[in-house]
């Protein structure tokens, strides 16, 4: 499945997850149930479509891990913050490996007419910029990002919405990863390209997402 399809499923399903917070710590096991809450002072959110075998585990501090094996289904989850902030400077470090579709990204919701926003630091076998929706480039924290505008008009929505993404170019190589994401820089870059994205206060996370692959991630956010 291409990233565009992943995004639609994610924005709808993660919204449903937010409606029923548990506040409980997740236990490592196959097909980890959808959940969100606070763990060691950090917000976490996890969603999976139950068609694969993906395990999410909260670890000490701002750390989490995801393991998936021959997963044909989609999943997304990670740790971060609530409420979201338009001036947040988020740092991450750790390891991610995958033999197929997988992404490490800064993720959150935005206000109408926008749906969600993402800063993709690395990706697997599918390069999302191949969609042909690149609107320009911006530079943040010494890295260059291609900016995508993905317009969606799903059934049940009165109006189409935009999903704005920064995709690091070149991407980080799978393995040990480390970086900083300055949200204000991306917002300013998007605005310069004509996208006035307004942050929804729900949450922001450094998320691992995947589909049709095997892999693992061990990530710490701060």
Tens of pLDDT, residues 7-34:
434 443 433 332 223 333 443 345 699 9
**DSSP states of the chain as a string?**
--HHHHHHHHHHHHHHHHTS---PPP---SSPPPEEEEETTEEEEEEE-SSS-EEEEE-STTEEEEEEEEEEEEEEEEEEESS--TT-EEEEEEEEEESSEEEEEEEEEE-TTEEEEEEEEEESS--GGGGS-EEEEEEETTEEEEEEEEEE--TT-SS-EEEEEEEESSPPPSEEEEEEEEHHHHHHHHHHTT----EEEEEEEEEEEEEEEEEEEEEEE-
* pLDDT 10s digits, 165-207: 999 999 999 999 999 999 999 999 999 999 999 999 999 999 9
- The pLDDT-based confidence of 107 (bands split at 50, 70, 90) is very high
Q: Topology of 35-221 in CATH?
A: Jelly Rolls (2.60.120)
């Amino acid at each position: 499945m291409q990233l565009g399809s992943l995004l639609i499923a994610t924005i709808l399903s993660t919204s449903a997850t937010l409606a029923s917070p548990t506040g409980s710590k997740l236990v490592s096991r196959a097909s980890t149930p959808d959940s969100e809450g606070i763990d060691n002072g950090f917000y976490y959110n996890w969603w999976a479509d139950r068609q694969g075998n993906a395990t999410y585990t909260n670890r000490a501090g701002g750390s989490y891990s995801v393991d998936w094996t021959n997963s044909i289904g989609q999943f997304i989850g990670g740790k971060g913050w609530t409420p979201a902030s338009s001036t947040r400077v988020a740092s991450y470090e750790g390891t991610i490996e995958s033999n197929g579709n997988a992404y490490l990204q800064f993720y959150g919701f935005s206000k109408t007419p926008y749906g969600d926003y993402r800063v993709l630091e690395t990706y697997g076998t599918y390069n999302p910029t191949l969609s042909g929706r690149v609107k320009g480039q911006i530079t943040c924290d010494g890295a260059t990002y291609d900016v995508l505008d993905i317009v969606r008009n799903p059934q049940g929505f009165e109006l189409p919405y935009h999903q704005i993404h920064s995709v690091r170019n070149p991407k980080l190589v799978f393995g040990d990863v480390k970086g900083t994401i300055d949200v204000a820089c991306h917002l300013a870059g998007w605005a310069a390209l004509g996208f006035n994205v307004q942050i929804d206060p729900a949450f922001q996370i450094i998320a691992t997402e995947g589909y049709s692959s095997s892999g693992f991630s061990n990530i710490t956010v701060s």
